[in-house]
């Protein structure tokens, strides 16, 4: 596999980052994951805009222009012959002598790699996933897509230990989001409910697209908090992210949601998302 590191396309075993890189020492970095379907990048512009926002919230310089970033994405997809999968991009504040304060003249690091993966026909989309709820113990700026992913990793392990696929995080009695995805329910009246935007969740690029498609299809949408109790009693539940698109959730904390199979709204939204993206 060919990866991109600070201007070079290299075999992965030759790619190197300094041990003093602040991404490594302080998790002082941000990232994006963009999906590839039929060799085409999905929603690159949305990801580039969110990256710019993450960088600006952290006073981190952009290593290259967003146009150059698009070229690097395309080049890497071509070189690795990715028909379907993901492009991972990470920007850190770069190498500097270890100091909590930011370096005066940061030299940001830019790393990209690809992962070939079956996304559109992922078998799990037919059966749906099971989740548990856990406390949300992340920091308060989840709208910035930083590489501090230890708590989401721990959440994923808690899910595995419970024999399920993922965890929904709860704060002050309300669901924030999944470990690496946005969370939704569909009420018995057919309204799609997902948490409103704020510092408490990542502003998903897939979320924005799916809500747009839902509204275009005359589906009712409410952006507000919901509880685990409301979710257990919902007609349907699902998650969205660049790596799962729209993925039905069929069980929460051991309780079946709806009839325990992917619901019609989630199924329809997944179809629409794939039609619009391909």
Interface with ligand PDD, residue 205, by CB under 6 A: yes
160 catalytic? Reply is no
Q: Which of 165, 177, 236, 251 binds ligand PDD (CB under 6 A)?
A: 177
Q: Which of 180, 200, 234, 262 binds ligand PDD (CB under 6 A)?
A: 180
Interface with ligand PDD, residue 146, by CB under 6 A: no
Distance CA(226)–CA(246), nearest Å, equals 19
CB environment 71-90: b (16+ within 10 A), e (fewer): ebbeebbeebebebbbbbbb
Interface with ligand PDD, residue 204, by CB under 6 A: yes
Closest approach of Cβ 206 to ligand PDD, in Å? 3
Q: Which of 16, 40, 117, 145 is catalytic?
A: 145
Q: Which of 242, 249, 250, 257 binds ligand PDD (CB under 6 A)?
A: 242
Residue 237's DSSP bridge partners are: 185, 249
Q: Which of 146, 181, 194, 267 binds ligand PDD (CB under 6 A)?
A: 181
Listed in order, strand segments (DSSP E) in the chain are 2-5, 8-11, 29-37, 40-41, 85-92, 109-116, 129-135, 166-171, 174-178, 182-186, 192-194, 221-223, 236-241, 245-252, 255-256
In sequence order, the 6+-apart residues with CB closer than 8 A to the CB of 147 are 23, 27, 29, 30, 31, 90, 92
The residue (of 109 and 146) whose beta carbon lies closer to ligand PDD is 146
Q: Which stretch binds ligand PDD (CB under 6 A): 63-71, 126-134, 187-195, 237-245?
A: 237-245
Q: Which of 90, 92, 182, 194 binds ligand PDD (CB under 6 A)?
A: 182
Q: Which of 80, 92, 240, 267 binds ligand PDD (CB under 6 A)?
A: 240
Do the beta carbons of residue 62 and residue 38 sit within 8 Å? no
How far is C-alpha 15 from the geometric centre of its chain's CA atoms? Answer: 25
The residue (of 92 and 180) whose beta carbon lies closer to ligand PDD is 180
Alpha carbon distances (Å) from 15 to 18, 28, 41, 129: 10, 20, 24, 36
Interface with ligand PDD, residue 33, by CB under 6 A: yes
Q: Note the residues at the interface with ligand PDD (CB under 6 A).
A: 33, 177, 180-182, 202, 204-207, 240-243
**Active-site amino acid positions:** 145
């Amino acid at each position: 596999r060919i990866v991109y590191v600070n201007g070079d396309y290299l075999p992965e075993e030759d790619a190197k980052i300094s041990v003093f890189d602040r991404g490594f020492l302080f998790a002082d970095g941000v990232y994006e994951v963009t999906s590839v379907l039929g060799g085409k990048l999905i929603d690159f512009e949305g990801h580039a805009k969110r990256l710019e926002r993450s960088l600006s919230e952290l006073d981190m310089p952009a290593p290259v222009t967003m146009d150059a970033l698009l070229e690097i994405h395309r080049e890497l997809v071509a070189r690795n012959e990715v028909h379907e999968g993901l492009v991972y991009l990470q920007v850190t504040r770069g190498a500097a002598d270890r100091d909590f304060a930011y370096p005066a003249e940061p030299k940001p690091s830019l790393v990209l790699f690809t992962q070939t993966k079956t996304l559109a026909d992922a078998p799990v989309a037919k059966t749906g996933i099971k989740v548990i709820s856990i406390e949300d113990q992340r920091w308060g700026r989840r709208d910035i897509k930083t590489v501090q992913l230890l708590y989401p990793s721990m959440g994923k392990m808690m899910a595995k230990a419970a024999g399920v696929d993922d965890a929904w995080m709860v704060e002050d009695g309300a669901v924030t989001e999944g470990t690496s995805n946005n969370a939704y329910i569909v009420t018995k009246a057919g309204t799609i409910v997902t948490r409103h935007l704020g510092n408490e969740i990542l502003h998903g690029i897939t979320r924005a697209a799916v809500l747009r498609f839902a509204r275009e299809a005359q589906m009712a949408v409410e952006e507000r908090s919901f509880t685990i109790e409301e979710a257990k009693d919902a007609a349907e539940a699902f998650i969205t992210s660049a790596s799962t698109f729209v993925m039905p959730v069929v069980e929460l904390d051991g309780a079946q949601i709806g009839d325990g199979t992917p619901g019609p709204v989630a199924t329809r939204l997944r179809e629409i998302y794939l039609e619009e993206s391909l």
